[in-house]
Amino acid sequence: MKAIVCHEFGPLEDLSLEDLPDPTPADGEVLIRMQAAGVNYPDGLLVQGLYQAKPDRPFTPGNEVAGEIVALGAGVTRFAIGDRVLAAVSGGGYAELAICAAERCFALPEGMDAAEACALLVAYGTSHHALKQRAALKAGEWLVIFGAAGATGIAAIQIGKTMGAKVIAVCSTEEKRAIALENGADHAIGYDTLKDDIKRLTEGHGADVVYDSVGGDAFAAASRFMARNGRLLVIGFASGEIPKLSVNLTLVKEYSVVGVFWGNWTRHEPDAYQENMKELFAWHQSGAVRPYIEGRYGLGKAAEVLSRVLGRGATGKIALVP
């Protein structure tokens, strides 16, 4: 099979497309012929050795795969050869064939696009968990989303609207702001006068929930425009700067700072994870959420698209295909 290989932590350009032996599923596992593999921001950090996890080298990155089961390990009864599934793999996704524990697979509804399915796993899964479990977002609340034209940002817009929120999308360019509006945001603004714009749009109320995947100066601004009883969600640090919090602001403004680590949550609360995915599939089937797929690229383009994702140049979801 063809697969992307990282031999040592380092520049993305060092990734190579290689021929590897076809893997064999162990007990309780399935072998999936990849139809799409999702590209995520943490994949690029992992390759560079900048993520909290440090896999043994060499390794193949990629944690979400959609495709067809072509072999079953002993004891697998939930699926059959030929079934199409969405899989949360433990690495190895950037390959023509991927191994996954059967319990980490979800049956795909008939006709679902493989790239859209991948988006539902990490991007929509993260935003859904953030807004549902961590923020307890309520209908009518003001939701502010940083990095709103990225894969998780668009997911947060669509999920926030589905949950009844009033959504303010924050994006760095006019092109990205247009994409945010097309995907359901009520307002789309830039970062330059963030605090004043939020105060104006919310008529002085401030943000009930902030979805922050950017960090840096954006976080600093959010810490000053939160509403009373607001929830500032820490998703990630795409700006490259991990911010410092003036905790006196949380005291006088009475808001909470809430960490969101979707991967950790899926391991600790598998039943809630399953229920969330059922809800996402139902929303997708009804048309309430619809992933925005920027493009599908061959495996050999992995380094190129990861560079764009890490450089905040991507909009929506990017998928690798065989």
Interval 5-41: pLDDT, tens: 999 999 999 999 999 999 999 999 999 999 999 999 8
pLDDT at 312: 78
280 occurs within a structural domain: no
- Tell how strand 105-107 and strand 84-88 pair up: antiparallel
274 occurs within a structural domain: no
Whether residue 204 is found in the same domain as residue 101: no
**311 pLDDT exceeds 90?**
no
Please, where are the H alpha helices in 205-291? Answer: 216-225, 247-253, 262-268, 270-286
Domain containing residue 131: CATH number: 3.40.50.720
Q: Whole-angstrom Cα distance, residue 158 to residue 127? A: 10
Which tens digit of pLDDT belongs to each residue from 74-88?
999 999 999 999 999
How is 156-209 classified by DSSP, letter by letter?
HHHHHHHTT-EEEEE-SSHHHHHHHHHTT-SEEE-STTHHHHHHHHTTT--EEE
Whether residue 153 is found in the same domain as residue 215: yes
Amino acid at site 42: P
CA atoms within 13 A on the CB side of 316: 19
Whether residue 91 is found in the same domain as residue 132: no
Whether residue 136 is found in the same domain as residue 46: no
Whether residue 139 is found in the same domain as residue 243: yes
Q: Whole-angstrom Cα distance, residue 130 to residue 266? A: 12
Lowest-confidence pick of 48-57, 135-144, 169-178, 207-216: 48-57
Which tens digit of pLDDT belongs to each residue from 263-300?
999 999 999 999 999 999 999 999 999 999 999 999 99
237 occurs within a structural domain: yes
Residue 313 — very low, low, confident or very high, per pLDDT cuts 50/70/90? confident
101 occurs within a structural domain: yes
**Domain span holding position 132:** 126-263
- Torsion angle in degrees (nearest 10) through CA of 125, 138, 249, 153: 30
Residue 240 — very low, low, confident or very high, per pLDDT cuts 50/70/90? confident
Whether residue 142 is found in the same domain as residue 210: yes
Mean pLDDT to the nearest integer, 209-234: 97
Residue 238 — very low, low, confident or very high, per pLDDT cuts 50/70/90? confident
Mean pLDDT to the nearest integer, 161-174: 97
182 occurs within a structural domain: yes
Averaged pLDDT score across all residues of the chain: 96
Q: Whole-angstrom Cα distance, residue 256 to residue 36? A: 38
Mean pLDDT to the nearest integer, 47-55: 90
Whether residue 185 is found in the same domain as residue 145: yes
Domain containing residue 304: CATH number: 3.90.180.10
Q: Whole-angstrom Cα distance, residue 164 to residue 183? A: 15
120 occurs within a structural domain: no
In what order do the strands lie in the sheet containing 207-212?
A: 187-189, 166-170, 142-146, 207-212, 226-234, 256-259
Closest CA to 79 of 32, 116, 26, 119: 32
Whether residue 92 is found in the same domain as residue 149: no
Positive/negative CA dihedral, 281, 287, 291, 295 = positive
273 occurs within a structural domain: no
Whether residue 314 is found in the same domain as residue 221: no
Phi, psi of 64 (to 5 degrees): -140, 130
> Strand, helix or coil at 221?
helix
113 occurs within a structural domain: no
> Domain tally for the chain?
2
Q: Where are the strands (E) in 1-54, listed by range? A: 2-5, 16-19, 29-38
Q: Is the pTM of this model over 0.85?
A: yes
Residue 53 — very low, low, confident or very high, per pLDDT cuts 50/70/90? confident
In the chain, pLDDT over 90 holds for what percent of residues? 93
Positive/negative CA dihedral, 224, 230, 236, 238 = negative
In the chain, pLDDT over 70 holds for what percent of residues? 100
The 10 Å Cβ neighbour count of residue 113 is: 17
Which tens digit of pLDDT belongs to each residue from 177-220?
999 999 999 999 999 999 999 999 999 999 999 999 999 999 99
Whether residue 135 is found in the same domain as residue 238: yes
Q: How much helix, strand and coil, in percent to the nearest 5, is found in the chain?
A: 35, 25, 35
